[in-house]
Structure 1
Amino acid sequence: MEPTSKFIPTAKAAEYISYSRRQLLRYVEEFSIPTYGPRKNRFNKDDLDQFMANPLFFKQEKKQFSARKKRGFTPISIDREC
């Protein structure tokens, strides 16, 4: 008899939600589904159930990075009194 665990590996998680392993990993990236374990290859069954009920719950807005400022010469204005 196998002990019941709420954490399952990637292959079993994909089977649990009826997706391929590759599709599950795409959803992990797109929807930020939490992963657990030292190698981040375990999923919580409760998280997967919640994802299947409402995928947008996990959707996070991607951060917009501003353009880097170029380093170098910056002209300054000098007020000259003549």
Structure 2
Amino acid sequence: MDRGKQRRVLVATMLGVFVSGWPAVILVAALPEIGDNLDASTSTLSWVLSLPMLVGAVMLPTFGRLGDLKGQRRVFLI
């Protein structure tokens, strides 16, 4: 693989990692407003933060297996 292609793959991967983590940052910033508007308890708000991580933990092996079967590039682009 030439240097240009390696660089594009690196940038695409870094962008994917950044985009996948961004919703958690938004949730943390918006959590006080969400709690105030919905009169949510602290335990409910903790689920708001925990649920996306739980879904990610469940989906990671699923998408890993799908990547093994269909190809990592195709799964990453989904």
> Whose strand fraction is larger, Structure 1's or Structure 2's?
1
TM-score category of the 2 structures, normalised to the smaller one = under 0.3
Q: Pick the structure with greater CA Rg.
A: 1
Greater helix share, 1 or 2? 2
Instruction: Select the structure with the greater relative contact order (CA < 8 A; seq sep ≥ 6).
Output: 1
- For normalisation by structure 1, the TM-score amounts to 0.25
